[in-house]
Amino acid sequence: MKAYVFPGQGAQFVGMGKDLYDSSEEAKRMFETANDILGFKITDLMFAGTDEDLKQTKVTQPAIFLHSVILAKVMGDSFTPDMSAGHSLGEFSALVACGAMSFEDGLRLVFKRAMAMQKACEAEPSTMAAIIGMDDADVEKVCSSIDEIVVPANYNSPGQIVISGSVAGIDAAIAKLTEMGAKRALKLAVGGAFHSPLMEPARVELAAAIENTAFSKPVCPVYQNVNASPVTDPDQIKQNLVAQLTAPVRWTQTVENMLRDGAVSFVEVGPGKVLQGLIKKVDRKAEVSGASI
């Protein structure tokens, strides 16, 4: 069985999507539609902007979504998912590519999500940190022992977990985990605590938008971040998407469940190779590749 996976924030690069725009009339139309919906020329920033331009959350999230979804569309009949998943933002790409909502609605939700998250980040200083070389259970224990807000945010692969919370909470967790023998405990260059309770204002804002968006049954099960389980029911998909903003991304568990359910090969659709690397860390024998047109 073939699994298609879609990357999240951090996979962006200058020039992303230019080859699609130049080689496909359909891609060109979709990019121009995106410019109209967003109210600014995201194509200029994607194709010829700076790294700094692409790091703005309001640009990063729609840019990665556009690259992924348009690539899946241009693949045409060769896009044949038996199952699918996306990492954080990538879940929106997976749902659109697999027919659970329209391209236009998906882009509007992604932009709404980006703006709501940016607002939540600005409301309270917060950050994230990557913890390498510790058991998940030990990281969880340390997080729960700290009085400040600090929680596991991304279970990326065995021995690699990202934590999220207040600046003081993250600093305290880094100190404790380093003391306990973490190979690395590194604060990330992000502007906020994604997938933590500090995203609650963004969750409320996004919930209203998701509730007013039409969802359909996807062409294949989509394994969602909050429970790492395959979902096809539109109402359940919506609930899980809303919960995703304040809940951890269970990527390790998602890949394990896809393998258990028969996934033989994984194709990453979108910029970069981050997910291919993470999947290999979950199972060295897994067959991984990047989508191409």
Of 244, 132, 240, 135, residue with least CA distance to 194 = 244
Beta bridge partners of 5: 85, 268
Residue 195: active-site member = yes
Report how far residue 124's alpha carbon sits from residue 144's, in angstroms, rounded to the nearest whole number.
Answer: 20
The H or E element that residue 129 is part of is strand 126-132
Beta strands at 126-132 and 160-166: parallel, antiparallel or unpaired: antiparallel
The residue from 24, 88, 157, 166 that is catalytic is: 88
Beta strands at 230-231 and 150-157: parallel, antiparallel or unpaired: unpaired
Residue pair 269/65 in contact (Cβ under 8 Å)? The answer is no
Residue 24: active-site member = no
- Whole-number CA gyration radius for the chain: 18
The residue from 24, 126, 195, 196 that is catalytic is: 195
Report how far residue 190's alpha carbon sits from residue 235's, in angstroms, rounded to the nearest whole number.
Answer: 32
Residues serving a catalytic function are 88, 195
